[in-house]
Amino acid sequence: MSKTNKIIGITIIGLIFISLTSSSWIFTVANEIQNGEEEPEFEIDTDPDEIDEGKKRESERVVTIENNTNSAQIKSILKYSDQKDDITMDISTQNNLYIKGLYKSHTIFTQINLQFQITFYSIIEFEDENENGIYEPDLDQEIQEMVLDSWEDISYVNSSAHIFTITTTNDVFLARIFAVEGYTDVNGTIIAPAEIKIDFEFHNFPFENETSLLALQVKFQTNAAYNMKNKTRGEDEGYAENENSVELEINNAVGYFAWAENASADGVDIKVLSSQFKDGASGKFMYLNYPHATDIIHDPKIGFVSDISAFYISGFPLVMAFSVIGIASLALFIKKRKLN
């Protein structure tokens, strides 16, 4: 073998070695923990039986947290993968409460950047004129609108999950957000690593009418297409049931806002109805509708799912596949040189 061919062979072997060893890298990032917070009392199971062990490992993510008085950021990457699969959730209470999601997934074949912002704008008390349980601004009488624009400082604790508590200054509305690194059961609801769970709580809303209902206005801004679904990705995968969702889809990636079909109103399960999308000045909006009650608790989720996993062969990273191809090509090259 000539000196040039030896150099080429050594170079190829070196590249293959880098590819093979890079697949075993595990990125570990320490979580930023705020001390001194009292741990909330939740039943948290970080190893739910409903999820296959192989799926649990493949889905694990490394999560980092930043938290300030009126903003927080949740960042996560796949733990056991060379594939760029990054999720960022920015939470802000500057004026309204909003969650901005960004999903990036890059391979040599495709590049995905899916982003959206979901804003929880106001609570509307209304008289249901046509008695369908859904707020329709053109038909129903609005009694009052409570704009959600005044918030206490964001509280954060790192228990078996990352937990943020966000409350309006009048204590009427509370959002508690859970982020996890692996499939986790929180009070009977399983959270996937690529999603966050949100508890909505309404307490002592100052009703002006004894028969009125409530509607939570939710606004969407995104670069993706909108779809209303009566079955969620969690239901498709078998770890959730009785959910509806809005899916925001671009290329092979989907962001979603999902919610339980039922909520608790003064201890009684009630149906949560949603309105159709309506066009707004800078996006679309919809209403989630609730009954006349003192205490209401509801369970939405926000997350991402991508079909980019198709570029992996039975859990075998694409870089590994190319490494095998490289080894085979090198062997054929050497054999051909010997025959010549």
pLDDT for residue 150 is more than 90: yes
Residue 124 confidence (pLDDT) above 90: yes
User: Does residue 301 register a pLDDT over 60?
Assistant: yes
Task: Give the pLDDT of residue 195.
Answer: 96
- The pLDDT score that the predictor gives to residue 314 is 33
Quote the pLDDT of residue 83: 80
Choose between 11 and 151: higher pLDDT.
Answer: 151
Q: Which pair of tokens denotes residue 62?
A: 């490394």
Distance of CA 308 to the CA centre of its chain: 16
Average pLDDT, the chain: 84
**Calpha distance 40→72 (Å, rounded):** 18
Domains and CATH numbers, the chain: 24-316 (2.70.98)
Give the model's pLDDT for residue 49. Answer: 94
Residue that the structure tokens 């995104």 belong to:
222
1 pLDDT band (50/70/90 cuts)? low
Q: Which residues contact 293 (CB under 8 A, 6 or more apart)?
A: 202, 265, 266, 270
**pLDDT score at 303:** 95
Q: What share of the chain is helix, strand, coil (3-state, %, to 5)?
A: 15, 45, 35
Neighbours of 294 (CB within 10 A): 12
The fraction of the chain above a pLDDT of 70, given in percent, is 78
pLDDT at 143 > cutoff 90: yes
Residue 90 has pLDDT above 50, yes or no: yes
Residue 4 clears pLDDT 90, i.e. is over it: no
pLDDT of residue 250: 87
Q: Rounded distance, CA 156 to CA 67, Å? A: 7
Mean pLDDT of 245-264: 93
Q: What is the mean pLDDT of residues 184-189?
A: 94
Q: Quick check: 152 and 8 in contact, CB under 8 A?
A: no
Kindly report which listed range (18-22, 81-85, 264-268, 335-339) carries the lowest average pLDDT score. Answer: 18-22
CA distance linking residue 261 with residue 266, whole number of Å: 16
Predicted pLDDT at 107? 72
E strands in 277-330? 278-279, 284-290, 295-298, 300-306
Residues 195/178, Cβ–Cβ less than 8 Å? no
User: What's the pLDDT tens digit per position in 29-50?
Assistant: 333 334 344 545 789 999 999 9
Helices (H), the chain: 3-22, 53-59, 233-237, 318-339
Band (pLDDT 50/70/90 cuts) for residue 329 is low
What type of residue is 176? R
- Residue 150 token pair: 């005044």
pLDDT in tens, 56-70: 999 999 999 999 999
- For the segment 276-300, what is each residue's pLDDT rounded down to a tens digit? 999 887 889 999 999 999 999 999 9
**Contact assessment for residue 204 and residue 296, using Cβ atoms and an 8 Å cutoff:** no
Split at pLDDT 50, 70, 90, the class of 81 is: confident
Beta bridge partners of 198: 177
pTM above 0.75, yes or no: yes
Out of 11-15, 204-208, 219-223, pick the least confident: 11-15
Tokens standing for residue 327: 């080894």
